[in-house]
A and B are shown apart, each in its own frame.
Chain A
Amino acid sequence: MEDLSKSPQSQHASLRVPTDLNALVRVLEWFDRLESPAVPQRIWLQCKTALAEGFTNAVRHAHRDRGDDDLPIEVEFEQTPTYLELRILDSGPPFDLEGKLNNLPTSSDLHATGGRGLKLMQCIADRLSYKRLDDKRNCLSILKYYESEP
Protein backbone atom coordinates (compact mmCIF):
# COMPACT_ATOMS: atom_id res chain seq x y z
CA MET A 1 0.00 0.00 0.00
CA GLU A 2 1.23 3.45 -0.83
CA ASP A 3 2.07 5.61 2.14
CA LEU A 4 0.42 8.88 1.22
CA SER A 5 1.44 10.60 4.41
CA LYS A 6 5.02 10.54 3.22
CA SER A 7 4.25 11.47 -0.32
CA PRO A 8 1.17 13.65 -0.25
CA GLN A 9 -0.49 14.53 -3.50
CA SER A 10 -2.91 16.87 -1.79
CA GLN A 11 -2.46 18.98 1.31
CA HIS A 12 -3.16 22.43 2.63
CA ALA A 13 -1.64 24.49 5.38
CA SER A 14 -1.55 28.05 6.61
CA LEU A 15 0.72 30.25 8.66
CA ARG A 16 0.24 33.62 10.31
CA VAL A 17 3.27 35.84 10.82
CA PRO A 18 3.84 39.46 11.85
CA THR A 19 4.62 42.27 9.40
CA ASP A 20 8.35 41.88 9.81
CA LEU A 21 11.01 41.08 7.23
CA ASN A 22 12.72 38.89 9.85
CA ALA A 23 9.75 36.52 9.67
CA LEU A 24 10.87 35.47 6.18
CA VAL A 25 13.04 32.74 7.73
CA ARG A 26 9.98 31.31 9.47
CA VAL A 27 7.90 31.45 6.30
CA LEU A 28 10.56 29.60 4.30
CA GLU A 29 11.10 26.98 7.00
CA TRP A 30 7.35 26.39 7.13
CA PHE A 31 7.32 25.90 3.37
CA ASP A 32 10.30 23.50 3.55
CA ARG A 33 8.38 21.28 5.95
CA LEU A 34 5.56 20.94 3.43
CA GLU A 35 7.82 19.71 0.66
CA SER A 36 6.41 16.65 -1.04
CA PRO A 37 8.45 14.09 -2.97
CA ALA A 38 5.64 14.09 -5.54
CA VAL A 39 6.68 17.58 -6.65
CA PRO A 40 9.85 18.04 -8.72
CA GLN A 41 12.44 19.91 -6.65
CA ARG A 42 12.88 22.56 -9.31
CA ILE A 43 9.19 23.46 -9.12
CA TRP A 44 9.39 23.53 -5.34
CA LEU A 45 12.37 25.88 -5.32
CA GLN A 46 10.72 28.17 -7.87
CA CYS A 47 7.63 28.40 -5.67
CA LYS A 48 9.80 29.05 -2.62
CA THR A 49 11.50 31.88 -4.51
CA ALA A 50 8.12 33.37 -5.49
CA LEU A 51 6.82 32.97 -1.93
CA ALA A 52 9.71 35.04 -0.54
CA GLU A 53 8.90 37.82 -3.01
CA GLY A 54 5.19 37.77 -2.24
CA PHE A 55 5.80 37.86 1.50
CA THR A 56 8.44 40.60 1.48
CA ASN A 57 6.29 42.68 -0.89
CA ALA A 58 3.41 42.47 1.58
CA VAL A 59 5.70 43.61 4.41
CA ARG A 60 7.34 46.39 2.42
CA HIS A 61 4.40 47.71 0.44
CA ALA A 62 0.99 46.49 1.58
CA HIS A 63 1.70 47.16 5.25
CA ARG A 64 4.00 50.10 4.70
CA ASP A 65 3.73 52.66 7.53
CA ARG A 66 1.58 50.25 9.48
CA GLY A 67 4.32 48.34 11.25
CA ASP A 68 2.95 49.54 14.60
CA ASP A 69 -0.55 48.23 13.99
CA ASP A 70 0.47 44.65 14.65
CA LEU A 71 -1.10 43.45 11.40
CA PRO A 72 -0.49 39.82 10.63
CA ILE A 73 0.24 38.43 7.20
CA GLU A 74 -1.29 35.08 6.42
CA VAL A 75 0.22 32.58 4.06
CA GLU A 76 -1.80 29.67 2.72
CA PHE A 77 -0.58 26.70 0.77
CA GLU A 78 -2.58 24.24 -1.23
CA GLN A 79 -1.33 21.24 -3.12
CA THR A 80 -3.47 19.22 -5.48
CA PRO A 81 -2.24 16.39 -7.72
CA THR A 82 -1.80 18.93 -10.54
CA TYR A 83 -0.88 22.28 -9.04
CA LEU A 84 0.56 24.18 -6.09
CA GLU A 85 -1.04 27.39 -4.96
CA LEU A 86 0.41 29.92 -2.54
CA ARG A 87 -1.81 32.68 -1.25
CA ILE A 88 -0.49 35.69 0.63
CA LEU A 89 -3.12 37.69 2.50
CA ASP A 90 -2.47 41.22 3.70
CA SER A 91 -4.62 43.97 5.18
CA GLY A 92 -3.20 46.88 3.22
CA PRO A 93 -4.89 49.17 0.71
CA PRO A 94 -5.78 47.54 -2.62
CA PHE A 95 -3.07 47.52 -5.23
CA ASP A 96 -3.27 47.42 -9.01
CA LEU A 97 -1.20 44.34 -9.78
CA GLU A 98 -2.38 44.08 -13.39
CA GLY A 99 -1.49 47.70 -14.09
CA LYS A 100 1.88 47.33 -12.41
CA LEU A 101 2.69 44.15 -14.34
CA ASN A 102 1.67 45.76 -17.64
CA ASN A 103 3.96 48.68 -16.96
CA LEU A 104 7.05 46.70 -16.08
CA PRO A 105 9.89 47.63 -18.40
CA THR A 106 10.15 44.99 -21.12
CA SER A 107 13.92 44.97 -21.30
CA SER A 108 15.14 45.02 -17.75
CA ASP A 109 18.42 46.53 -16.70
CA LEU A 110 20.65 43.59 -15.83
CA HIS A 111 22.60 45.78 -13.42
CA ALA A 112 19.60 47.20 -11.56
CA THR A 113 19.92 46.93 -7.80
CA GLY A 114 16.19 46.46 -7.22
CA GLY A 115 12.77 46.03 -8.77
CA ARG A 116 12.97 42.35 -9.69
CA GLY A 117 10.37 40.99 -7.27
CA LEU A 118 7.18 41.24 -9.32
CA LYS A 119 8.86 40.10 -12.48
CA LEU A 120 10.22 37.05 -10.68
CA MET A 121 6.77 36.09 -9.43
CA GLN A 122 5.34 36.62 -12.90
CA CYS A 123 8.05 34.43 -14.47
CA ILE A 124 7.58 31.63 -11.97
CA ALA A 125 3.79 31.52 -11.67
CA ASP A 126 1.60 29.92 -14.31
CA ARG A 127 -1.09 32.21 -12.98
CA LEU A 128 -0.46 35.24 -10.81
CA SER A 129 -3.56 36.98 -9.51
CA TYR A 130 -4.56 39.48 -6.91
CA LYS A 131 -7.97 40.23 -5.52
CA ARG A 132 -9.72 42.18 -2.82
CA LEU A 133 -11.59 39.97 -0.37
CA ASP A 134 -14.87 40.74 1.38
CA ASP A 135 -13.08 41.00 4.72
CA LYS A 136 -11.04 43.92 3.28
CA ARG A 137 -7.94 41.88 2.93
CA ASN A 138 -6.02 41.36 -0.31
CA CYS A 139 -5.06 37.97 -1.64
CA LEU A 140 -2.09 37.45 -3.90
CA SER A 141 -2.22 34.02 -5.48
CA ILE A 142 0.72 32.25 -7.09
CA LEU A 143 -0.34 29.13 -8.94
CA LYS A 144 2.08 26.64 -10.44
CA TYR A 145 1.25 23.42 -12.27
CA TYR A 146 3.47 20.39 -11.92
CA GLU A 147 3.77 16.87 -13.14
CA SER A 148 4.08 14.32 -10.38
CA GLU A 149 7.38 12.60 -9.94
CA PRO A 150 7.01 8.88 -10.62
Chain B
Amino acid sequence: MNPDEVKIVRPEGLLDGVKASQVRRDISECLEAGARIVLLDLKDVTFIDSSGLGALVSALKTVRAADAKMFICSISDQVKILFELTSMNRVFKVYADREEFERNVLSSP
Protein backbone atom coordinates (compact mmCIF):
# COMPACT_ATOMS: atom_id res chain seq x y z
CA MET B 1 0.00 0.00 0.00
CA ASN B 2 1.38 3.36 -1.03
CA PRO B 3 1.44 5.46 2.17
CA ASP B 4 0.15 8.46 0.21
CA GLU B 5 -3.11 6.64 -0.27
CA VAL B 6 -3.79 6.40 3.46
CA LYS B 7 -5.01 9.52 5.23
CA ILE B 8 -5.73 9.96 8.90
CA VAL B 9 -8.34 12.37 10.23
CA ARG B 10 -8.13 13.06 13.95
CA PRO B 11 -10.83 15.35 15.35
CA GLU B 12 -10.95 16.52 18.97
CA GLY B 13 -13.47 17.11 21.72
CA LEU B 14 -17.22 16.91 21.30
CA LEU B 15 -18.47 15.69 17.91
CA ASP B 16 -21.90 17.22 17.50
CA GLY B 17 -23.60 17.82 14.15
CA VAL B 18 -21.58 20.95 13.38
CA LYS B 19 -18.17 19.52 14.22
CA ALA B 20 -18.86 16.19 12.58
CA SER B 21 -19.89 18.00 9.39
CA GLN B 22 -16.43 19.58 9.42
CA VAL B 23 -14.96 16.08 9.77
CA ARG B 24 -17.04 14.99 6.78
CA ARG B 25 -15.57 17.87 4.75
CA ASP B 26 -12.04 16.96 5.90
CA ILE B 27 -12.65 13.40 4.74
CA SER B 28 -13.92 14.63 1.36
CA GLU B 29 -10.71 16.63 0.97
CA CYS B 30 -8.66 13.51 1.71
CA LEU B 31 -10.54 11.71 -1.06
CA GLU B 32 -9.97 14.57 -3.47
CA ALA B 33 -6.27 14.40 -2.61
CA GLY B 34 -6.27 10.77 -3.70
CA ALA B 35 -6.77 8.84 -0.46
CA ARG B 36 -7.93 5.25 -0.92
CA ILE B 37 -8.14 4.55 2.79
CA VAL B 38 -9.26 7.00 5.45
CA LEU B 39 -8.70 6.27 9.12
CA LEU B 40 -10.85 8.29 11.48
CA ASP B 41 -8.84 8.29 14.70
CA LEU B 42 -11.23 9.18 17.55
CA LYS B 43 -8.62 9.07 20.31
CA ASP B 44 -9.25 12.70 21.28
CA VAL B 45 -13.01 12.66 20.85
CA THR B 46 -14.74 12.57 24.20
CA PHE B 47 -18.37 12.47 23.12
CA ILE B 48 -20.56 11.98 20.03
CA ASP B 49 -24.28 12.76 19.84
CA SER B 50 -26.78 11.42 17.31
CA SER B 51 -26.27 14.36 14.93
CA GLY B 52 -22.54 13.77 14.98
CA LEU B 53 -23.16 10.11 14.33
CA GLY B 54 -25.39 10.98 11.36
CA ALA B 55 -22.61 13.10 9.86
CA LEU B 56 -20.13 10.21 10.26
CA VAL B 57 -22.53 7.87 8.44
CA SER B 58 -22.80 10.49 5.74
CA ALA B 59 -18.98 10.63 5.54
CA LEU B 60 -18.89 6.86 5.13
CA LYS B 61 -21.31 7.13 2.20
CA THR B 62 -19.07 9.72 0.55
CA VAL B 63 -16.06 7.44 1.02
CA ARG B 64 -17.87 4.45 -0.47
CA ALA B 65 -19.13 6.52 -3.40
CA ALA B 66 -15.49 7.34 -4.14
CA ASP B 67 -14.69 3.62 -4.05
CA ALA B 68 -12.43 4.12 -1.04
CA LYS B 69 -12.53 2.65 2.46
CA MET B 70 -13.03 4.18 5.86
CA PHE B 71 -12.02 2.77 9.24
CA ILE B 72 -12.41 4.07 12.76
CA CYS B 73 -10.08 3.53 15.72
CA SER B 74 -9.60 4.41 19.40
CA ILE B 75 -13.18 5.09 20.49
CA SER B 76 -14.03 6.26 24.00
CA ASP B 77 -16.38 4.36 26.30
CA GLN B 78 -19.22 6.76 25.47
CA VAL B 79 -18.73 6.28 21.73
CA LYS B 80 -18.65 2.52 22.30
CA ILE B 81 -22.03 2.72 24.05
CA LEU B 82 -23.46 4.96 21.31
CA PHE B 83 -22.24 2.58 18.58
CA GLU B 84 -23.74 -0.42 20.39
CA LEU B 85 -27.12 1.22 20.90
CA THR B 86 -27.33 2.28 17.24
CA SER B 87 -25.85 -0.94 15.80
CA MET B 88 -23.00 1.05 14.27
CA ASN B 89 -20.66 -1.89 14.79
CA ARG B 90 -22.47 -3.31 11.75
CA VAL B 91 -21.80 -0.16 9.74
CA PHE B 92 -18.29 0.95 10.71
CA LYS B 93 -15.18 -1.18 10.93
CA VAL B 94 -13.70 -0.21 14.29
CA TYR B 95 -10.18 -1.02 15.53
CA ALA B 96 -9.02 -0.74 19.10
CA ASP B 97 -6.15 1.57 18.22
CA ARG B 98 -3.95 2.73 15.37
CA GLU B 99 -1.58 -0.17 15.82
CA GLU B 100 -4.37 -2.71 15.31
CA PHE B 101 -5.55 -0.82 12.24
CA GLU B 102 -2.04 -0.86 10.74
CA ARG B 103 -1.58 -4.54 11.50
CA ASN B 104 -4.88 -5.53 9.92
CA VAL B 105 -5.31 -3.12 7.07
CA LEU B 106 -1.93 -1.90 5.98
CA SER B 107 0.20 -5.00 6.27
CA SER B 108 -2.15 -7.26 4.32
CA PRO B 109 -0.29 -8.79 1.39
Do A49 and B14 touch across chains, with their CB atoms under 8 A apart? no
Q: A21-B18, A49-B82 are in contact. Are A120 and B58 (CB under 8 A)?
A: no
Contact A56 B61, beta carbon cutoff 8 Å: no
Chain B residues, CB < 8 A from A120: 50, 82, 85-86
- Is B57 engaged at the interface, CB distance under 8 Å to the other chain? yes
When distances are taken between beta carbons in the complex, the residues of chain B under 8 Å from A21 are: 16-18
Tell me if A117 and B47 are in contact (CB < 8 A): no
Closest to A48 in B: B78
CB distance from A42 to the nearest CB of B (A): 7
- Indicate if the CB atoms of B54 and A110 lie closer than 8 Å: no
Interface residues on A, range: 20 to 34
B interface, over-half SS: helix
Which of A42, A46, A113, A123 is the one whose CB lies under 8 Å from B58?
A: A113
65-124 of chain A: CB within 8 A of chain B: 110-117, 120, 123-124
User: Is there contact, CB below 8 Å, between B58 and A53?
Assistant: no
Chain A proximity of B78: nearest CB distance (Å): 5
**Chain B interface size range:** 20 to 34
A45 interface hit (Cβ, 8 Å): yes
CA distance A120 to B87 in the complex (A): 11
Q: Are B16 and A116 in contact (CB under 8 A)?
A: no
Cβ contacts under 8 Å, B103 to chain A: none
Complex alpha-carbon distance, A48 and B14, angstroms: 13
Q: Kindly provide the distance from the CB of A114 to the nearest chain B CB, expressed in whole angstroms.
A: 5
| A42 to B84 CA separation, bound complex (whole angstroms) | 12
Determine if A4 is an interface residue (Cβ-Cβ < 8 Å).
no
A56 touches B49 (CB 8 A): yes
User: B54 to A116, Cβ gap below 8 A?
Assistant: yes
Q: Chain B's nearest CB lies how many Å from the CB of A127? A: 17
- B91 in the interface, Cβ–Cβ < 8 Å? yes
Asked if A52 and B47 sit within 8 Å, CB to CB, the answer is yes
Spell out B's residues near A (CB within 8 Å). 14, 16-18, 47, 49-51, 53-55, 57-58, 60-61, 77-78, 81-82, 85-88, 90-91
Q: Which of A's residues lie within 8 Å of B, judged by CB?
A: 21, 24-25, 28, 41-42, 45-46, 48-49, 52-53, 56, 110-117, 120, 123-124
